[in-house]
Structure 1
Amino acid sequence: MDLLPFDEYVRSLDRKRMSAGVLFRDSDDRVLLVEPSYKSHWEIPGGAVDAGEAPWAAARREVREELGFDRAVGRPLVIDHVPDDGHMPEGLAFIFDGGFITAAEVAALDLTDPEIISAGLFHLETTAAKLKTTLALRLAAAVEASRTGGLLLCDNGNPSIRG
């Protein structure tokens, strides 16, 4: 077997896209969702991880950009392997714990990011039509992890390893 020169080997390594989101919940176990202006389904606060940026830094940056407040993100709840779907390439999606948020805090959000139309607190059981199926699965896993103190590793939203 011939080995590639190191620089050529490094250039040949696969690149994966990454996204980072934050799970905020209220005392009624509702989750904070945002309505993007550029797609039909709702999301949690978050977005793409930029080149050279750590996922937890991206999560904090996205919350600041989308919701207008800056607070440290908590522990990771979910790491999800998302396969290539023909539209988007393979990637990893992280969800971090944002802690609790109140309805008053959500009502007071100053949504100035043109990417976000609105935000609200919702029970996961009633949001199926608002979310992509994989995000609904990933969010259910994140809520479970926030309750149990664990970390869930998922494949396309389906928990495969509980840590």
Structure 2
Amino acid sequence: MLAYKDDKDFYESLPRKRIGVGALLFYKNQLLVLQPSYSNEWVLPGGTVEAEESPLEGLYRSIKEELKLQISPTRLIAIDYIHNRDVKGEYIQFLFEAKELTERQAQGLQLLKDDFKEFKFVDLEEATKLLTANAAKRLESALIALQDGQVTSYLEDGNLASFRAEMALL
């Protein structure tokens, strides 16, 4: 049995998970996607949540840093747990929806970080072809859940989680 000096010692011993955020930003029914400078695949606007920052604060900061844009998130669409399968390790991704961009916002977009080559607005079918596999699966599953009437969906590796089988075992 491990002995801890105090609460601080105990909590410092617990595992930590990286948290990411992404936003569905639409303009004229087209989704905004970004191409990172380090990849041929595309991503949704967003980023990694920093220490002592909430997911929503991280979303606001990331979008402002990436695109010089202030957004108005309308709801949390999905929470996605991604297992440790590559160099990224395990992480949790929050996916938000925001109000449709205005003409002024869409025309004023600027990539402020050297992290990205370009951005564009595409239809959902094209987005799923361009996005990383994880982001595309997350987008597809979240949209299916929304069509089925779910307000927020819980995903694992981009797939809608099934609670029925696990609950039957209890």
Q: TM-score, normalised by structure 2?
A: 0.82
Cross-structure match for 2:37 = 37
Output aligned runs, 1:62-141, within 5 Å: 62-101=62-101, 105-141=105-141
Query: Structure 1 residues 102, 140: CA separation in 2 closer, same or farther (over 3 Å shift)?
Result: farther
Calculate the aligned-residue CA RMSD, in Å.
Answer: 2.3
Query: Structure 1 residues 145, 119: CA separation in 2 closer, same or farther (over 3 Å shift)?
Result: farther
- Give the superposition deviation at 1:52: 0.7
Distance 2:23 2:146 in 1: 12
Of stretches 121-130 and 62-71 in structure 1, the one that deviates more from structure 2 is 121-130
| Secondary structure in structure 2 of the residue aligned to 1:75 | strand
Cross-structure match for 1:61 = 61
* C-alpha distance after superposition, 1:18-51 (max 9, x if no partner): 10111112343x3111111122211111001111
Aligned-partner residue type, residue 43 of structure 1:
V
* C-alpha distance after superposition, 1:69-96 (max 9, x if no partner): 1133232111000111131111100011
Structure 2: give runs of 5+ residues left out of the alignment: 164-170
Q: TM-score, normalised by structure 1?
A: 0.85
Cross-structure match for 1:4 = 3
Of stretches 3-12 and 92-101 in structure 1, the one that deviates more from structure 2 is 3-12
Distance 2:71 2:101 in 1: 12
| Secondary structure in structure 2 of the residue aligned to 1:93 | strand
Q: Is the 1:80–1:154 Cα contact (8 Å) retained in structure 2? A: yes
Structure 1: give runs of 5+ residues left out of the alignment: none
Query: Structure 1 residues 121, 142: CA separation in 2 closer, same or farther (over 3 Å shift)?
Result: farther
- Paired-residue identity, %: 27
Cross-structure match for 1:26 = 27
Query: Structure 1 residues 142, 68: CA separation in 2 closer, same or farther (over 3 Å shift)?
Result: farther
The number of residue pairs the alignment matches comes to 160
Cross-structure match for 2:167 = none
Query: Structure 1 residues 146, 99: CA separation in 2 closer, same or farther (over 3 Å shift)?
Result: farther
Distance 1:149 1:27 in 2: 24
- Give the superposition deviation at 1:59: 0.5
Structure 1 or 2, whichever has the larger Rg, is: 2
